[in-house]
Amino acid sequence: MSRVLTRRRLITGLGYTAIAGTVGGLAVSPSFRDLVLKGGETLAYNTHRLVGRDALVREYSEAEMSPDFRTNGNTTGATPAWEAARDTGFADWELEVSGLVENPARFGLDALRAMPARTQITRHDCVEGWSAIGKWTGVPLSEVLDRVTPKPNARYVVFRCADRFGLSLYYESIDMIDAYHPQTILAYGMNDADLQIGHGAPIRLRVERQLGYKNAKFIMKIELVESLAGIGGGKGGFWEDRGYEWYAGI
Ligand SMILES: Nc1nc2c(c(=O)[nH]1)N[C@H]1C(S)=C(S)[C@@H](COP(=O)(O)O)O[C@H]1N2
Ligand SMILES: [Mo]
């Protein structure tokens, strides 16, 4: 628990400091006060939306890749379905895509690999204070969404994972803007090899404008929803339910 609070203070603390420096004694409007009170989350969200829905994060060269990319959080799936799929080398694994879509579907790894692919070398920033530059290959989430046709009231994409802390399964969520961002991919490859189990095999999310914990590993199911209220603790992710920001903009 103390680790959670420390991490949270790190993010929101930075936001407060930055804004307080700018405000310095100005009479602030109610909306600006809102922004200050909500801290870094709102600031990062608004900044990203201002620079544009498709603004790309920096991509790096092969020479800049980290020699070691550590794992963090859970390093294996733990549900019977994931374990059974792992035992077939993920040949039997299927991604379920459901919720507010016209055509719910299931995609095996071969089907995902047959879709248009994207490779990007990006920097992963963990809220615990480490970063690593890695090469990710996968299918843009937009390609998958195009095949299931989201309904107009779909507002969030929820990622259901196969690992747990205690009794709680890991999950995450992003909005439709990040879902359609060109660098948002379902990665099945890392550093020119198949995605290793420790990094979230068979697929993990890369959502490059946000911190490490948003990048869900061991994905089993993608669900489109209108509200995050009924899911987990209602805050949009495993760590969000424990105090982290939902919008973890970098
Ligand atoms: N399913 C799942 N996804 C997860 C985690 C996790 O524990 N379970 N940890 C998150 C955190 S905090 C980080 S920093 C990254 C770590 O990814 P890596 O193991 O590839 O370094 O995965 C994120 N995604
Ligand atoms: Mo992290």
Query: pLDDT tens digits, residue range 94-106?
Result: 999 999 999 999 9
pLDDT band for 11, please (50, 70, 90 cuts): very low
- Which ligand 1 atom is at minimum distance from the Cα of 218? 1
List all residues 6 or more positions away from 67 whose beta carbon is below 8 Å from its beta carbon. none
Mean pLDDT value across residues 41-47? 85
Mean pLDDT value across residues 148-176? 98
Mean pLDDT value across residues 12-32? 37
- Which ligand 1 atom is at minimum distance from the Cα of 134? 20
pLDDT over 60 at 170, yes or no: yes
Q: What is the model's pLDDT at position 27?
A: 38
Residues of the chain with CATH 3.90.420.10: 62-242
pLDDT band for 43, please (50, 70, 90 cuts): confident
CA 230, CA 250: separation in Å to the nearest integer? 27
CA 45, CA 55: separation in Å to the nearest integer? 13
Instruction: List, chain by chain if needed, residues with CB within 6 Å of any ligand 1 atom.
Output: 70-74, 126, 161, 163, 170, 198-199, 212-213, 215-218
Mean pLDDT value across residues 188-212? 98
pLDDT over 80 at 52, yes or no: no
Q: What is the model's pLDDT at position 38?
A: 53
Q: Give the chain's radius of gyration (CA, Å).
A: 18
CA 146, CA 111: separation in Å to the nearest integer? 14
List all residues 6 or more positions away from 154 whose beta carbon is below 8 Å from its beta carbon. 99, 100, 101, 176, 224, 225, 226
pLDDT mean across residues, the chain: 88
pLDDT band for 31, please (50, 70, 90 cuts): very low
Q: What is the model's pLDDT at position 18?
A: 36
Mean pLDDT value across residues 232-248? 97
Tokens of 85: 């799929």
Mean pLDDT value across residues 152-160? 98
- Which range (27-41, 172-186, 201-215) has the least confidence? 27-41
Residues near ion ligand 2 (Cβ under 5 Å): 126, 212-213
Residue 220 Cα to ligand 1 midpoint, Å, equals 15
CATH no., domain 62-242: 3.90.420.10
Mean pLDDT value across residues 19-33? 37
Mean pLDDT value across residues 197-226? 98
Q: What is the model's pLDDT at position 175?
A: 98
pTM of the model: 0.87
The answer to whether 170 touches 214, Cβ cutoff 8 Å, is: no
- Which range (52-56, 157-161, 213-217) has the least confidence? 52-56
Mean pLDDT value across residues 189-207? 98
Tell me which residue has its CA closest to atom 19 in ligand 1. 71
Q: What is the model's pLDDT at position 50?
A: 81
Q: Is the bond preceding residue 202 a cis peptide, omega within 30 degrees?
A: yes
